[in-house]
Structure 1
Amino acid sequence: MFILLVQGSRKMSAASGIIANSIKTKLQTALQTKHLDVINESYMHNVPKGAETHFKVVVVSSQFEGLPLIKRHRLVNETLKEELQNGVHALSIVAKTPDQWESSDQIVESSPNCRGGFGK
């Protein structure tokens, strides 16, 4: 099941498949998230319909306080290590502290169009 979110002129799928649910559960548990979006962007790529291979996560957690962006990303990647080794091909991460999220416009940039994997 997918829920379409419209951001700007693009549609993004709010994911609710098996892998998406695993990502959501793991991030919520490990990072005690204040806000979490798991967006399946697989439809933007040359994969079978219903695939769960390309994701964007928007993660807001107090655990990011005082951490540079690279360490936040590493924390998310470590949490999702199993998924990244077993089928998730791409993961885009937006990692913010609650203060950063509240002071922002809370709009997430759309991912660029797929270029075919070879810069086409």
Structure 2
Amino acid sequence: MDTNLKGPVAAEIATRLIAALSPISLAVIDDSDKHAGHSGHDPRGESHFTVEIESDAFTGQSRVARQRMVNSALAELLAERVHALAIKAKAPGE
């Protein structure tokens, strides 16, 4: 798992995903700098993320179901703090 989390929002994303989905691997990548000057960019940073997650919970689930599971775990952050989230979710062995 990626332990090089830079800020409190990234750390909270990791904490919530670990609690909800018990991932085998997890990377939370802050993409905010790539969006400076674009709509939704927050000058505080930590507004755009990519999550790469592998979990047994995704076995037998469709891509949409997997994204819904991640979104559900992060619902409060997505409503209040995170503007954009790219999700790369896979089951073991994929």
RCO higher in 1 or 2 (8 Å CA, sep ≥ 6)?
Answer: 2
What RMSD in Å do the two structures reach over aligned CA positions?
1.2
Structure with bigger gyration radius: 1
TM-score, normalized by length of structure 1? Answer: 0.68
Count of matched residue pairs? 86
Structure with a larger share of its residues in helix: 2
Query: Which of the numbers 70, 79, 83 marks the counterpart of 1:85?
Result: 79
**Unmatched segments (≥5 aa) in structure 1:** 1-13, 101-120
Deviation, structure 1 residue 16: 2.2
The correspondence of residues 28-47 of structure 1 with structure 2, limited to 5 A, is 28-46=18-36, 47=41
Deviation, structure 1 residue 94: 0.1
**Unmatched segments (≥5 aa) in structure 2:** none
Matches of 1:16 and 1:58, distance apart in 2: 16
Would you identify which runs of 4 or more consecutive aligned residues in structure 1 move more than 6 Å? none
What fraction of aligned residue pairs are identical, expressed as a percent?
41
TM-score, normalized by length of structure 2? Answer: 0.87
Superimposed CA distance per residue, residues 48-106 of structure 1 (whole angstroms, 9 cap, x where no aligned partner): 2x501000000100000000000000000000001101120000000001111xxxxxx
